[in-house]
Amino acid sequence: MTIQENCPAAATNGERATLNYQGKPTDFPLRHGSIGPSVMDIGKLYKDTGCFSYDPGFTSTANCASKITFIDGDKGELLYRGYPIEQIAEYSNFLATCFLLLNGELPTNEQFRDFRRTISMHTMVHEQMTRFFTGFRRDAHPMAVMVGVVGALSAFYHDSTDISNPEHRRIATNRMIAKMPTIAAMAYKYSIGHPFIYPRNDLDYTSNFLQMCFAVPCEPYIVNPVVARALDRIFILHADHEQNASTSTVRLAGSSGANPFACIASGIACLWGPAHGGANEAALTMLQEIGTVERIPEFIAKAKDKSSGFRLMGFGHRVYKNYDPRAKVMQKTCHEVLDALDKRDDPLLKVAMELEKIALQDDYFVSKKLYPNIDFYSGITLRAIGFPVEMFTVLFAVARTVGWIAQWREMIEDPEQRIGRPRQLYVGPSRREFPL
């Protein structure tokens, strides 16, 4: 089989790639994005050739056309609606980023005020949901609680589950962005036996989340502005990341017409895995296990030994083959938080910085283009703020909710989208008779 590509560098629409299979040429249209690689539209591959494409892990497969987020993995660039992540993290805030991801443009001052007011009107959860929490064991992982409670939102808010109704989609969007911090904080409070703290709508989105997590009814809680700004930035960095595993899960779940709350619950379940959102927890656990700078060579050697099954958590990325741009912002934020909280002598920071230095000079990591990813420094930062490791992925879920919803809405509104139904290369037994 050969592929003759008729696509010059600056190709225009109407061009085609020709695939020769068993002596018969078949043409496939080429489609070009605004930036990034073009795609061959192989939707008719099976009809025209009788073959499926085979691409486990979707390493060469685009599942949709999207206008939301762009990553150039070789350059180490991440854009939300065209804006570089570093600039958004520096000049914007999480709620404005939500508006941008959902609507395509940054909000005007008036739009921001309206959006903020709307979100704050939805921050409480149905009072009956508090009883839902008590059904869980207190030592349950908060991500397990999140999957259950977010999935249950459709039982409490079924008046916004008609996906064909744009107004329902809008209300479900606002509800999820507003309620996710409340649910996450409740999961945390439940795990430590504290009473739930109600949202405070006079606070900004992230400060309110901090007070729901760390305030207690018996004394006033004052939000540390450096911590609030750092967490807000962490939320911005995690808000969307194009067609990653959890977002693809949300899209796939949504492609069947499932309601948005159920779709987001499926995204949370996928995010929990250690190769995805669970990596921040795994990275911190690994740094704790390493413990001292002297033990780093032992762990580097283990990571290079395939038979050990050990990987350097917080290193490597499917798309970034350069420094993850989010990791750079995260590293700076980490230093800011440790300085503000007078924890700059945190031994884990020393281990992390030394580990990064050694790995970036090591031939194994250099040749495989394995760089620190966002999770490498986020764990140290979140721990310094006061979150236990089990909450790390929950915070990721709070931030990623807007990305999941923006992508879900884009899918619902895309006339080209159909139910997601991959095919397979069957390698099991062929037909045989049942033994009598």
Amino acid symbol at 386: G
Of residues 367 through 396, those in contact with ligand CMC by CB under 6 A are: 368, 370, 373-375
Of 316 and 325, nearer to ligand CMC (C-beta) is 316
Of residues 211 through 250, those in contact with ligand CMC by CB under 6 A are: 241, 244
Least distance to ligand CMC from the beta carbon of 271, Å?
8
Least distance to ligand CMC from the beta carbon of 287, Å?
12
Candidates 21-29, 141-149, 167-175, 311-319; binding stretch for ligand CMC (CB under 6 A): 311-319
Of 375 and 410, nearer to ligand CMC (C-beta) is 375
Least distance to ligand CMC from the beta carbon of 336, Å?
21
Residue 314 makes contact with ligand CMC by CB under 6 A: yes
Name the residue whose CB lies closest to ligand CMC. 316
Least distance to ligand CMC from the beta carbon of 315, Å?
4
Q: Pattern 179-208, binding to ligand CMC, x per CB under 6 A? A: ------------------------------
> According to CB under 6 A, which one of 303, 330, 351, 399 is a site residue for ligand CMC?
303
For residues 58, 61, 62 and 64, what is the CA-based torsion angle, rounded to 10 degrees? -70
> According to CB under 6 A, which one of 157, 214, 315, 404 is a site residue for ligand CMC?
315
> According to CB under 6 A, which one of 200, 302, 311, 350 is a site residue for ligand CMC?
311
Of 118 and 285, nearer to ligand CMC (C-beta) is 285
Of 249 and 373, nearer to ligand CMC (C-beta) is 373
Asked if 375 is an active-site residue, the reply is: yes
Label each residue of the chain as H, E or C: CEEEECCCCCCCCCCEEEEEECCEEEEEEEECCCCCCCEECCCCHHHHHCCCCCCHHHCCCCCCCCCCEEEECCCCEEEECCEEHHHHHHHCCHHHHHHHHHHCCCCCHHHHHHHHHHHHCCCCCCCCHHHHHCCCCCCCCHHHHHHHHHHHHHHHCHHHCCCCCHHHHHHHHHHHHHHHHHHHHHHHHHHHCCCCCCCCCCCCHHHHHHHHHHCECCECCCCCHHHHHHHHHHHHHHCCCCCCHHHHHHHHHHHCCCCHHHHHHHHHHHHCCCCCCCHHHHHHHHHHHHCCHHHHHHHHHHHHCHHHCCCCCCECCCCCCCCCHHHHHHHHHHHHHHHHCCCCCCHHHHHHHHHHHHHHHCHHHHHCCCCECCHHHHHHHHHHHCCCHHHHHHHHHHHHHHHHHHHHHHHHCCCCCCCCCCCCCCCCCCCCCCCC
Asked if 339 is an active-site residue, the reply is: no
Of 400 and 409, nearer to ligand CMC (C-beta) is 400
Least distance to ligand CMC from the beta carbon of 264, Å?
16
Least distance to ligand CMC from the beta carbon of 317, Å?
5
Of residues 261 through 280, those in contact with ligand CMC by CB under 6 A are: 275-277, 279
Residue 359 makes contact with ligand CMC by CB under 6 A: no
Among the listed residues 238, 317, 324, 362, the single catalytic one is 317
**Contacts with ligand CMC, residue ranges (CB under 6 A):** 241, 244, 275-277, 279, 303, 311-318, 368, 370, 373-375
Catalytic residues: 317, 375
